[in-house]
């Protein structure tokens, strides 16, 4: 027996990384067993609505929210840095109204978030402080080796690369390159994500150094493919560059992507590694999705997959001004699924 259900959602983005947020703090909107299928349904850019992931926010306790994140392929990720910024804004404006900072429970650990309005960019910003970042690759590697993998060689389809493995609760391989424009991002990203060295795949970020406080990053996300940006990928990229001596520690590093710019402040000491990720959390529109939910299936109930109700044109305009400052050459994305991407679509 199937039932029709209408769920409220927010279309949002962090640095061009687009999501739908569902607030489950009062009730479960999507049954747990169908959250993965729901993500596949909605995120599909050909037959669904199109998105880089689904963010579910709920209540851990009176003072602490929870975030769960599902990739377009239906897999649940441990964390999403851009998604967490959007989740923080949603909670700050709703069930945890005005509480600042917030500390989110995620599968990757606890993350502190601070909401504020950037006076320079006139946009809602969120600063995320990570839990401890690890260079122990034991949970990433099929071999379960705990020896740090920092600036180590990696053979991919007969070609040698150098990479650094970083865990921010989710697995990352950071690969420095001289020029992003020389890469076959789709083929190389897919091959690296699925490299047999990994236990359960990995997020792959290619990093081009501009100067000691500026880098360009393109990420091939586990379960999503190429995205305009990846929050944890940008954090891992900066930390890896600090470990390699290429960028400054304890200073904001501007990370330029196809989706825009964020700032990562790495805190690397002998005792621990943490970082702060600061960037926008922008609303595109609020709407309602009409669903037909069965015991083992979920589908759209109407031809109009989402009913858009409220748009945020001022946020869109102000963010576009910021995104245009990115040094990332978007011609790099020609021939990829992102070629026609619009940041606020």
List per-residue pLDDT tens for the chain, 345 residues long: 789 999 999 999 999 999 999 999 999 999 999 999 999 999 999 999 999 999 999 999 888 999 999 999 999 999 999 999 999 999 999 999 999 999 999 999 999 999 999 999 999 999 999 989 999 999 999 999 999 999 999 999 899 999 999 999 999 999 999 999 999 999 999 999 999 999 999 999 999 999 999 999 999 999 999 999 999 999 999 999 999 999 999 999 999 999 999 999 999 999 999 999 999 999 999 999 999 999 999 999 999 999 999 999 999 999 999 999 999 999 999 999 998 774 444
Q: d(Cα 38, Cα 58) in Å, to the nearest integer?
A: 17
What pLDDT does residue 341 have? 72
Taking the alpha carbons at both ends of the chain, their separation in whole angstroms is: 35
Q: Give the tokens for residue 305.
A: 């997959």
The residues annotated as belonging to the active site are 80, 230
Structural domains of the chain sorted by starting position, each given as residue range(s) with its CATH number in brackets: 3-131+281-323 (3.10.310.10), 152-273 (3.10.310.10)
User: 243 has which bridge partners?
Assistant: none
What pLDDT does residue 339 have? 86
Whether this prediction's pTM lies above 0.75 is answered by yes
Cβ proximity of 110 and 131 under 8 Å: yes
Which residues fall within 8 angstroms of residue 229, CB to CB, at 6 or more apart?
14, 15, 16, 17, 82, 217, 219, 257, 258, 259, 260, 262
Q: d(Cα 326, Cα 16) in Å, to the nearest integer?
A: 12
- Say which DSSP state 256 is in: E
């Amino acid at each position: 027996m199937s039932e029709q259900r209408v769920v409220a959602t927010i279309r949002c983005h962090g640095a061009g990384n687009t999501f739908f947020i569902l607030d489950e703090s009062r009730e479960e909107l999507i049954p747990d067993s169908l959250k993965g299928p729901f993500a596949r349904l909605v995120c599909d850019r050909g037959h669904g609505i199109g998105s880089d992931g689904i963010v579910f926010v709920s209540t851990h306790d009176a003072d602490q929210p929870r975030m769960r994140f599902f990739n377009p392929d239906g897999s649940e990720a441990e964390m999403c840095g851009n998604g967490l910024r959007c989740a923080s804004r949603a909670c700050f404006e709703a069930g945890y109204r005005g509480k600042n900072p917030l500390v989110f429970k995620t599968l990757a650990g606890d993350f502190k978030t601070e909401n504020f309005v950037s006076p320079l960019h006139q946009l809602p910003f969120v600063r995320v402080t990570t839990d401890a970042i690890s260079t122990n690759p034991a949970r990433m590697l099929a071999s379960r080796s705990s020896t740090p993998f920092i600036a180590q060689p990696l053979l991919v389809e007969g070609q040698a690369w150098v990479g650094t493995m970083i865990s921010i609760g989710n697995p990352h391989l950071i690969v420095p390159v001289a020029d992003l424009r020389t890469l076959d991002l789709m083929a190389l990203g897919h091959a690296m994500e699925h490299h047999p060295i990994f236990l359960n795949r990995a997020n792959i970020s290619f990093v081009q150094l501009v100067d000691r406080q500026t880098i360009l990053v393109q990420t091939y996300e586990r379960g999503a493919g190429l995205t305009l940006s990846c929050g944890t990928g940008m954090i891992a990229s900066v930390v890896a560059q600090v470990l390699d001596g290429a960028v400054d520690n304890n200073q904001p590093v501007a990370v330029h992507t196809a989706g825009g710019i964020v700032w990562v402040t790495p805190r690397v000491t002998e005792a621990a590694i943490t970082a702060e990720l600061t960037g926008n959390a922008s609303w595109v529109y609020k709407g309602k999705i009409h669903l037909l939910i069965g015991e083992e299936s979920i589908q759209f109930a109407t031809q109009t997959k989402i009913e858009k109700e409220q748009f945020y044109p001022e946020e869109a305009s102000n963010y576009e001004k910021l995104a245009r400052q990115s040094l990332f050459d978007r011609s790099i994305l020609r021939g990829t699924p992102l070629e026609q991407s619009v940041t606020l679509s």
